[in-house]
Amino acid sequence: MDNILWVSRLTANHSSSSFHSAASQPPSPATNTTTTTTTTTTTTTTSSSTDNKRSRAIDELLHTEAIYAADLRVIQDIYLYRAAGPPPAPPALTPADRLAIFSNITPLTQLAATLEHALAKASSTNQIGSCFIQFVSHPLTQSHTATKLTAYRQLPRIETLFTVYCSTYGPANKRLEELTKKLERKQKKRDNQTHKPTEEILGIRYLNECKRLCQGRTSAWDLASLLIKPVQRCLKYSLLLDQIIKYTDPDDPDLPALVQARDGMTKRRHEVVGEVITRSAAPLGTRYAARLGGRL
């Protein structure tokens, strides 16, 4: 009995001694490796998350630019083309009204197509900023070769084209609204027996036909909704670039160009709102100025 009790106590003491000895030993190399691996995994996960967010920001720029370019092609190919009355149809709008309503939509359409293609190409080489900045006015430096200078001057300038369009947008939209109301009034009053293609009848047919042809090509539901697209796009560029910058590594070689492009478009953004407020006729201009100003 005494032997059994002694063996039990000896076993208990040995177990306790082994426990304290193990507890007092420093962590094994395996433990340090696990800690290092966890830290590395966390860093990698954070970096991957940032890269994913940056990729999504770039995708949004490319995707929305493609939609914008498609909307301008609708204006160009459907509304502007048919407004001139392609033979043998007579013109639906007078030359003065075509100029007043559509302004410089043709070079803007060309700009959108050029920028869409350039950005898509630049995204594969991580040069979004370097690409975009070519379309924003900035001082030419001596580092530009003669060939580069020639190409630079031929690039469609965002600043110039948007200045022209935005400075005339308010009056253009007002004129479109006046014509639309006039056509609606004439349509209600016109004689159903009339077969003569009057100016009002041509205008009504023109708007209805264009709206029909637009189905499936744009989410905009009428010409007025399309004509505001360049103004909205000009205001949006700086926000899209800012999102890309937010998730760009500080050591990324394209970062300075991104910042310069963003700053240039931010300046243009404020000027656009100023143009709309200054040149738009009240009350229509006041209404649109408030809408645009709310986006700042």
* Domain spans, the chain: 51-293
Task: Please report where in the chains the tokens 């967010």 appear, as a residue.
Answer: 53
Q: Which residues contact 26 (CB under 8 A, 6 or more apart)?
A: none
Euclidean distance between CA atoms 288 and 270, whole angstroms: 14
- Mean residue pLDDT across the chain: 77
Q: Give the pLDDT of residue 272.
A: 72
Q: Give the pLDDT of residue 159.
A: 80
Euclidean distance between CA atoms 229 and 35, whole angstroms: 53
- What is the share, in percent, of the chain residues with pLDDT greater than 90? 45
Q: Are 96 and 84 in contact (CB under 8 A)?
A: no
Buried b (16+ CB within 10 A) or exposed e, 271-281: bbbebbbeebe
Euclidean distance between CA atoms 26 and 33, whole angstroms: 14
pTM, 2 dp: 0.72
User: In CATH, what number does 51-293 get?
Assistant: 1.20.900.10
Q: Give the pLDDT of residue 9.
A: 46
Q: How many CB atoms lie within 10 A of CB 214?
A: 22
For residue 279, is it left (φ>0), alpha (ψ between -120 and 50) or beta?
alpha
Q: Give the pLDDT of residue 52.
A: 93
Span between the terminal Cα atoms of the chain, in Å: 92
Residues of the chain with pLDDT under 50: 1-12, 14-24, 139-145, 147-155, 191, 193, 281-296
Q: Give the pLDDT of residue 243.
A: 96
Q: Give the pLDDT of residue 200.
A: 67
